[in-house]
């Protein structure tokens, strides 16, 4: 699974090519999910003597906490995975929850430079 997903042509090609040999490809696209993953995976030893990184570290940790608290519940992702695996359709994409749907729509409506700049602003980099 990926946080967000931009390689549309590759995914559609894989979906079509593997269907010819009986393999189904389905993409579950979660957004931010409200779990403790961010806390555990971002545990690190911050070397405060590396002054040039301290502004980024502070901004990132602040944003990371705000984003995780606003995310979709893990059960939403689990339900989406189950639906994708059992719905009997040839559907390719399954956004997992309202946050994911909003993120995917925002990404689709934005060019690369604007999207990257928004992420940079959000994380203070």
Instruction: Render pLDDT for 41-77 as a digit per residue (tens, 0 to 9).
Output: 666 677 888 888 888 778 777 777 666 666 788 899 9
pLDDT digits (tens, 9 = 90+) for 69-111: 667 888 999 999 999 999 999 999 999 988 888 888 888 888 8
pLDDT of residue 2: 39
Torsion 29-31-37-43 (CA) sign: positive
- Residue 106 tokens read as 């925002």
Residue 20: pLDDT above 60? yes
Q: At CB < 8 A and 24+ separation, what contacts does 105-114 make?
A: 107/4, 107/6
> Average of pLDDT values for 4-19?
76
Residue 123: pLDDT above 70? no
pLDDT of residue 1: 37
Query: Torsion over CA of 26, 93, 75 and 123, rounded to 10 degrees?
Result: 120
pLDDT of residue 111: 86
CB 122 within 8 A of CB 68: no
The partner residues of 96 in beta bridges, in order of sequence, read: 30
73 DSSP 8-state letter: P
pLDDT of residue 60: 75
Other Cβ atoms within 10 Å of 75 Cβ, number:
10
Q: How far apart are the first and last CA of the chain?
A: 25
């Amino acid at each position: 699974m990926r946080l967000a997903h931009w390689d549309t042509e590759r995914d559609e090609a894989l979906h079509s090519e593997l269907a010819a040999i009986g393999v189904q490809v389905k993409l579950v696209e979660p957004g931010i999910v409200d779990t403790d993953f961010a806390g555990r995976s971002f545990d690190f030893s911050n070397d405060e003597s590396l002054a040039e990184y301290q502004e980024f570290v502070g901004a990132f940790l602040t944003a990371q906490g705000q984003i995780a608290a606003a995310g979709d519940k893990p059960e939403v992702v689990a339900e989406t995975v189950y639906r994708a695996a059992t719905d009997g359709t040839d559907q390719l994409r399954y956004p997992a929850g309202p946050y994911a749907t909003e993120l995917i729509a925002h990404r689709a409506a934005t060019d690369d430079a604007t999207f990257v700049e928004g992420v940079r602003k959000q994380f203070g980099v």
